[in-house]
Amino acid sequence: MVEKQRILVLYATQTGNAQDVAERVGREAARHHFKPVVESMHLYDPSKLPQEKIAIFVVSTTGQGDPPESMRVFWKFLLRRSLGPHWLESTLFSVFGLGDSGYQKYNIIGKKLDRRLLDLGGTSVVPRGLGDDQHPSGFEAGLDPWLASLWVALRRHVPLPAGLEDPRPEDTGISVLDPPKYRVTFHHPLAPESKLATLPESLKTDIVARWVEHGRARAVVDSAGNPFGNARDHNSSSTGFGPPVMPIFAKMLVNSRITSEDHEQDVRHIELDLGSSGAQYVPGDILTLLPSQKLASVDKFLQRCGLDGDTFVTVEANDSDVCTIAQAEDVETVCKPTAVLLKTIVEALMDIDSASPRRYFFEVMSHFASAEHEKERLQYFATPEGRDDLYRYNQREGRTVLEVLEDFPSVQMPFEWLLQTVPRLQQRSFSISSSQLAHSNEAHLTVAVVEWTTPFKRKRRGLCSSWLASLDPKIGKVFLPVWFTKGAIALPSPSVPLILVGPGTGCAPFRAFIQERVALSNAEEAVAPVLFFFGCRMQAKDFLYESDWSAWSQGKNVLSPDVGGDFFVAFSRDQPEKVYVQHKIREQGKKVMQFIQSGAVIYVAGSANKMPADVMAAFETVLAKETGWPQEKATKYLRDLERRGQYVVEAWS
């Protein structure tokens, strides 16, 4: 047997893109006669890295320059001073980063990781690659040339095993379909019972029973391992950190629209009762949940794919011999722990009607198209030459898996391939807009219903936000499975002044901040004042929480000028010339400077497009004007604040 060189591929992902890239690296590595091992960073012991001859890293940058959650322990280990400049002197490496150039710190995590690996003595095989979501072809515009150069460069270090041939550069791999990573065994619809099937009829629709069955489906699929047979953390999702085994089942108390009915943007104020969970959170924390897919869409998907949702299936790694129908006549005994309703797997894991499929989906589809014109189009989409056209057809239009399958009716993909290539249903996170000091057993959310129009004038709605907006606690009990995590921002000591900048739903965490300080003040604790800049389009249509800000700007409350605070709002469309929060910051330069000189912490939250950069520029202008400093010194001062955690940004796209 030919001994193949092991190649480690580590990924850190937030939405699944980095994992998708890592698995592509693994597939191509196998075609180039390497032995690939693909792993999420949180599952790999970083102390073993010097033992790897070749290590490839695929990492996303999240928020305003943060590593994904699954990378944080790994990154902290790499930053140890004790490692030294020769720690990785025997390791070849390369880094591919995924980011969005619309953010100020574009691909900063990939860049930092590349520099750190060099500092530790690693040898870079090829310069780091950077994928940009803003590129007309998406991140793959950077990925394709980086991968092509990677295999050429690696051959200079690792000779080709005797008797083997590397694929030609022009071979895209489309002509060969790699084995699927899963093996799916179908059982008779009434053969082994699932846990849900054994519950009393009255409990089958209960949210707890549904969560248990969905969690079981996730565990079954995750336990099947990654495409190259490594152990996987069964309690984690495909992106590294999944839902808890048992969340909090919070009862929805209020779901009210807080923008006018004739306004183009539907923003919801949602109040949740945490019941007897005893859950604790602090201002700045995040509430996370998994959205529900429309059952009609699930049924439509099953019908399109010719699948019986009431069939039980077992899912295993393709190289596993744990349980096959041929080996075990007694399916009830051997396979029952892993038998799940097929429909449950689709509901719980597969984002069929929201996320756009990735390029590999089209490549796999081409192998199962019976119509020649569909096969040709799919093969073209999967090539570098067709990349731009695919991006225009797919990502820019926000086409869903279901829509793509309907556009190619001759394609009949086996379920194991659908399970592998359909994007995973992703959890969604929201800044909490309440304080437990003010609402002891509740959590409030401020949710903008996501809607947009594609270049071809197709109307789109966000899966989670539109689902939340559809829930009505007035016509029946509504429970949501939720859990809490730490956010990027945290409220400092009550004695620290605050400058808050939160246009639109960016005000959500700051409503929690101010509520907390008002409650402390009412309890006779000394609190520092707050300077808050809020922005919206029109006072009459989307002035979110107007009554709250007004009340907290009176008397001895923290936004009141009587205690040194203040509240300023920019209505961008209420006058001929647009006015944004950055304009208000410049207008109030003297007050802003007083707060900064008193040691205030600056927080910025909201849309990640241009707002964070424009706000930073406004603060730089204020500093330069009020101190007489040159622009460079003002910029450096703010960067120093940022490094010390005194200038904090939480932004989302």
CB-side exposure of 494: number of CA atoms within 13 Å?
A: 15
**Strand ranges inside 563-619, DSSP E:** 566-571, 601-607
Residue 646 domain flag: yes
Q: Is the pLDDT of residue 338 over 90?
A: no
Q: What is residue 336's predicted lDDT score, i.e. its pLDDT?
A: 44
Residue list, annotated binding site for NADP(+): 505, 572-573, 578-582, 614
Q: What is residue 190's predicted lDDT score, i.e. its pLDDT?
A: 53
Q: What is residue 241's predicted lDDT score, i.e. its pLDDT?
A: 64
Higher pLDDT pick, 456 / 630: 630
Burial per residue of 31-58, b for 16 or more beta-carbon CB atoms within 10 angstroms, e otherwise: bbbbebbbbbbbbbebeebbebebbbbb
Sequence-distant (≥ 6) Cβ neighbours of residue 408 within 8 angstroms: 365, 369, 371, 374, 377, 378
Residue 48 domain flag: yes
Q: Is the pLDDT of residue 439 over 90?
A: yes
- Provide the domain count of the chain: 2
Cα(268)–Cα(257) distance, rounded to whole angstroms?
A: 5
Burial per residue of 5-21, b for 16 or more beta-carbon CB atoms within 10 angstroms, e otherwise: bebbbbbbbbbbbbbbb
Q: What is residue 2's predicted lDDT score, i.e. its pLDDT?
A: 67
Residue list, annotated binding site: 13-18, 60-63, 133, 428-431, 462-465, 505, 572-573, 578-582, 614, 652
Domain enclosing residue 635, as ranges:
491-652
Mean pLDDT of 628-645: 94
Cα(349)–Cα(357) distance, rounded to whole angstroms?
A: 14
Sequence-distant (≥ 6) Cβ neighbours of residue 240 within 8 angstroms: 12, 13, 40, 41, 42, 68, 69, 70
Which helix (H) or strand (E) segment holds residue 406: the answer is helix 401-407
Going by pLDDT thresholds of 50, 70 and 90, the confidence category of residue 331 is very low
Count of beta carbons in the 10 Å neighbourhood of residue 636: 14
Q: What's at 237, amino acid-wise?
A: S
pLDDT tens digits for range 340-390: 999 999 999 999 999 999 999 999 999 999 999 999 999 999 888 898 899
Q: Domain boundary residue among 157, 191, 214?
A: 157
Going by pLDDT thresholds of 50, 70 and 90, the confidence category of residue 138 is confident
Average pLDDT across the chain, whole number: 88
Q: Is the pLDDT of residue 337 over 60?
A: no
Token couple for 275: 């019941």
Cα(509)–Cα(497) distance, rounded to whole angstroms?
A: 16
Q: Which of 527, 483, 487, 429 is nearest to 284 (CA)?
A: 487
Dihedral of alpha carbons 327, 331, 335, 341, sign: positive
Task: Characterize the bridge pairing of strands 530-536 and 498-501.
Answer: parallel
Q: What is residue 100's predicted lDDT score, i.e. its pLDDT?
A: 83
pLDDT tens digits for range 456-491: 888 899 999 999 999 999 998 999 999 999 887 889
CATH number at residue 629: 3.40.50.80
Is 335 in contact with 323 (CB distance < 8 Å)?
Answer: yes
Q: What is residue 572's predicted lDDT score, i.e. its pLDDT?
A: 96
Q: Which of 566, 248, 595, 564 is nearest to 432 (CA)?
A: 248
Q: What is residue 321's predicted lDDT score, i.e. its pLDDT?
A: 34
Residue 578 domain flag: yes
Residue 112 domain flag: yes
Q: Is the pLDDT of residue 514 over 80?
A: yes
Residue 431 domain flag: no
Q: Domain boundary residue among 141, 157, 173?
A: 157
Going by pLDDT thresholds of 50, 70 and 90, the confidence category of residue 90 is very high
Q: Is the pLDDT of residue 218 over 60?
A: yes
Q: What is residue 231's predicted lDDT score, i.e. its pLDDT?
A: 35
Q: What is residue 228's predicted lDDT score, i.e. its pLDDT?
A: 39
Residue 316 domain flag: no
Mean pLDDT of 637-643: 94
| Share above pLDDT 90 across residues of the chain, in percent, rounded to a whole number | 72
Q: What is residue 239's predicted lDDT score, i.e. its pLDDT?
A: 40
Token couple for 606: 């909201």
Mean pLDDT of 597-606: 96
Q: What is residue 171's predicted lDDT score, i.e. its pLDDT?
A: 55
Going by pLDDT thresholds of 50, 70 and 90, the confidence category of residue 607 is confident
Token couple for 589: 């330069």
Count of beta carbons in the 10 Å neighbourhood of residue 455: 9
SS3 content of the chain, % helix, strand, coil (to 5): 35, 20, 45
Cα(137)–Cα(459) distance, rounded to whole angstroms?
A: 22
Record the pTM. 0.88
Q: What is residue 329's predicted lDDT score, i.e. its pLDDT?
A: 35
Task: Characterize the bridge pairing of strands 248-257 and 267-273.
Answer: antiparallel
Lowest model confidence (mean pLDDT) among 46-50, 63-67, 263-267: 63-67
Going by pLDDT thresholds of 50, 70 and 90, the confidence category of residue 168 is low
Higher pLDDT pick, 195 / 80: 80
Residue list, annotated binding site for FAD: 428-431, 462-465, 652
Q: What is residue 401's predicted lDDT score, i.e. its pLDDT?
A: 97
Q: What is residue 181's predicted lDDT score, i.e. its pLDDT?
A: 87
Q: Domain boundary residue among 104, 124, 157?
A: 157
pLDDT tens digits for range 222-269: 888 643 333 333 334 334 467 888 999 999 999 999 999 999 999 999
Higher pLDDT pick, 162 / 428: 428
Residue whose tokens read 């390791």: 91
Residue 108: exposed, middle, or buried by beta-carbon count in 10 A (0-12, 13-18, 19+)?
middle
Is 378 in contact with 361 (CB distance < 8 Å)?
Answer: no
Cα(445)–Cα(100) distance, rounded to whole angstroms?
A: 26
Residue 18 domain flag: yes
Going by pLDDT thresholds of 50, 70 and 90, the confidence category of residue 650 is confident
Dihedral of alpha carbons 618, 622, 625, 628, sign: negative
Cross-sheet strand order for the sheet of 286-289: 428-431, 286-289, 479-485, 248-257, 267-273, 442-448
Q: What is residue 238's predicted lDDT score, i.e. its pLDDT?
A: 38
Q: Is the pLDDT of residue 644 over 70?
A: yes
Residue 431: exposed, middle, or buried by beta-carbon count in 10 A (0-12, 13-18, 19+)?
buried
CATH number at residue 44: 3.40.50.360
Going by pLDDT thresholds of 50, 70 and 90, the confidence category of residue 8 is very high
Residue 183 domain flag: no
Q: Is the pLDDT of residue 552 over 80?
A: yes
Residue list, annotated binding site for FMN: 13-18, 60-63, 133
Q: Can you count the helices (H) and strands (E) in the chain?
A: 21, 22
Is 626 in contact with 588 (CB distance < 8 Å)?
Answer: no
